[in-house]
Structure 1
């Protein structure tokens, strides 16, 4: 585990910008990672480097060739990082935009009278796209209800709702409200048992920072991430699509290569910063294992991240030192339950008799950055069935520390006392 190797957490934190302080607020603890993780210093440097280059890809000059090489290298790095030996990667405006594009393409090419299936736990990025394009394409939308107590949707729930005419499916890999990770591979198997040719598209935006990605094991057709939530920067999204989704008729320029999914000249720096992210995972894997193979190091890093973040969330829930955990604070309720092995680096709570906005503000006054989730178009699908208007989301990553958790617990305990 990361914290058992002397000096490793300090070495990890040294690789990120603004770990201990905000350039606007000053010293602070960053527990708002689900809203956007910290950025690698290498990403900041790479972004500046490529922002200064005036050349475009596709020209016959040395600089242009170098840009194309950078992009191809990043795509190869992503294939190792996400274990995707086939299909292709491309970038777009955002993870949400890419989900819309993949889901739209699958829906408009589906047989009339077919069905689209998704679940109530999904972020509106995929739910909105699926419902909108199902309606436009003349498809029925099937909603699989998640379990309110666990914050999960299961393969069994999907299986019970499946019929052979389901031609498009959406899955969220992890919920940004409950923090629970779904068993994507099991859900995809349940879908394909009934509808083998169904196009399956996954929202991996919340999951990407919290453990390893393994597209080859999922048997899906599309997967989207938002790089700013996995240690890169804002301004773009990354998608992987299978060869068969690549081949579907899709939005593109007239007479353009049929396999192309990008529009216009993309930012080479966006691709290059993903190589920085992959290099970081490889470095971390090298610290926690003796593997020499790139993929094996990345898997080791993902396992170590998941184990350490579970340690931190356990400390948050069960207490650390002489501080009681959130479960032992009479006025605190934990979404998804205190004992939930599906949790991925996120604990959402409600403090009785104190509005969530006030809790977030009080914590912020003490230099602890958290976030309120409201029962709006982003989170109402999760909060409304629980009878909640809002909650406080505490989201961490593997560069956070148990001491930071202790400061949070002390602050919340003081409020509830």
Structure 2
């Protein structure tokens, strides 16, 4: 377990920028990882290096050859990291933009009068795209209702709504509001059992930093991540698409490569930082195992990250030492329940008697960074059915510590005593 190894947790935290302090606020605990994880120091260095290079890819000069090779290396690293034996990776403006593009392409190529299936738990990045392009393409949208109690949707829920004429499907891998992960492999299988040729697109943005990625096991056609949520930086997104989706008619330049999906000259530094991210997972797996195979080390790292974050959320919910946990605080309600095995490093709460914006401000005044989620176009699909106007999101990553959790619980205990 990572948190049981003081030397390892120190090494991990030493690889990230601004772990213990904010350049604007000063010392703080960072529990806002779902809004964007901490950035690897290596990513900062790589970004600086490539920002100074004037050359483009596709030219006949040594610098251009090097840039092309760096991008190819990054795509190969991503294939190992996400266990993709086929298909292709490409960069876009953001994770949201890429989800819109993949869903749009799937919809306009679907048979008229067919269906698109998605779920009510989804982030608007996929849900908005699905509704818009289903309407434009003349597809019926089928909504799979998520469980308000558990904060997730299951394979059985999808199976109950499936029909053979479903041509496109969207799946959310993990919710940035409830923190619950969906079983993508089982949901995908439930879809393909009824509609084998359905184009399945997954929003993996929230999940990517919190454990293992295994595209071969998912049996889907599209998977999108936002690198700034998995230890890289802002300004781009990464998509993987299957050979099947690569080949369908899509937006492209006239006479361009038939299976080319990228627009314009991409930032080589963005790709290079993904190699830094993969190298970090590789390093972590090597620190906690004797594995010699890169994929095995990455799998080991993913399992350790998941276990670490489970330990952190369990400590937050059940208490640390003499400090009561969230489940012991009568004034606190935990979204998705206290004992939910689907939880990935995130606990959302409401505090009776104190407005959520005030709780976030009070925690921030104590040097604890959390985030307010409102029942707006981002989170209303989850909060409205619960009768909530907002909630406080506390989101962790594996570099957070039980000591930081204890400080949070101490502040919340003090709030309870003074409310």
**TM tier, smaller:** over 0.9
Cα distance in 1 for residues equivalent to 2:412 and 2:238 = 37
Tell me the distance in 2 between the aligned counterparts of 1:204 and 1:413. 35
In 2, Cα distance between equivalents of 1:259 and 1:61: 26
How far residue 408 of structure 1 moved from its aligned partner, in angstroms, is 0.3
Q: Is 1:66 aligned to residue 66 of structure 2?
A: yes
CA distance in 1, matches of 2:407, 2:196: 50
Other-structure match for 1:174:
174
SS in 2 for 1:254: coil
Within 5 Å, which residues of 2 pair with 1:353-364?
353-364=353-364
- 1:100-111 to 2 correspondences below 5 Å: 100-111=100-111
Matches within 5 A, 1:291-306: 291-306=291-306
Offset of residue 6 of structure 1: 4.0
- Matched with 1:203 is 203
1:390: Cα distance to partner?
0.2
1:262 aligns with 2:281: no
Match of 1:380 in 2: 380
TM-fit CA distance, 1:413: 1.1
Distance 2:9 2:321 in 1: 19
User: 2:319: which partner in 1?
Assistant: 319
The TM-score, its normalising length taken from structure 1, stands at: 1.00
Distance 2:223 2:264 in 1: 21
SS class of match (2:403)? helix
Q: What whole-Å deviation, never above 9, does each CA across 1:121-158 have from its counterpart, x for those lacking one?
A: 00000000000000000000000000000001000000
Could you say what secondary structure the match of 1:116 adopts?
strand
**Structure-2 residue corresponding to 1:116:** 116
- Displaced runs of 4+ in structure 1, greater than 6 A? none
Q: Distance in 1 between matches of 2:411 and 2:225?
A: 33
Report the Cα offset of residue 4 of structure 1: 2.5
In structure 1, what is the equivalent of residue 241 of structure 2? 241
Deviation by residue 1:287-331 (Cα, 9 ceiling, x = unmatched): 111101000000000000000100000000000010000000010
Residue of structure 2 in register with 1:186 after alignment: 186
2:129, 2:288 → 1: CA distance? 40
Aligned residue runs from structure 1 range 339-358, under 5 A: 339-358=339-358
Equivalent residue number for residue 85 of structure 1: 85
Contact 2:3 2:402 in 1 (8 A): no
Whole-angstrom distance in 2 between the partners of 1:315 and 1:397: 14
- Whether 2:52 is the aligned partner of 1:47: answer no
Q: CA deviation at 1:164?
A: 0.4
Q: Distance in 2 between matches of 1:409 and 1:120?
A: 32
Residue in 2 aligned with 1:149? 149
1:342-395: CA deviation from partner (whole Å, max 9, x where unpaired): 000000000001000000000000000000000000000000000000000000
- Residue aligning to 2:331: 331
Query: Could you tell me which residue of structure 2 aligns to residue 223 of structure 1?
Result: 223
Paired residues, number: 417
Q: Partners of 2:284 and 2:67 in 1: how far apart?
A: 27
How far residue 109 of structure 1 moved from its aligned partner, in angstroms, is: 0.1
Stretches of structure 1 that go unaligned for 5 or more consecutive residues are none
Contact in 1 for aligned 2:42/2:276 (Cα 8 Å): yes
How far apart, in 1, do the equivalents of 2:413 and 2:341 lie?
Answer: 24
Q: Distance in 2 between matches of 1:157 and 1:78?
A: 31
With normalisation by structure 2, the TM-score equals 0.99
Q: 1:6–1:416: structure 2 CA closer, same or farther, 3 Å change rule?
A: closer
Task: State how far apart, in whole Å, the 2-side matches of 1:390 and 1:6 are.
Answer: 36
Q: Could you list the runs of 5+ residues in structure 2 that have no partner in the other structure?
A: none
Q: Deviations over 1:3-32 (max 9, x none)?
A: 223400000000000000000000000000
Paired with 2:39 and 2:264, the residues of 1 have a C-alpha distance of 26
Q: Alpha-carbon deviations, 1:174-207, whole Å to 9, x = none?
A: 0000000000000000000000000000000000
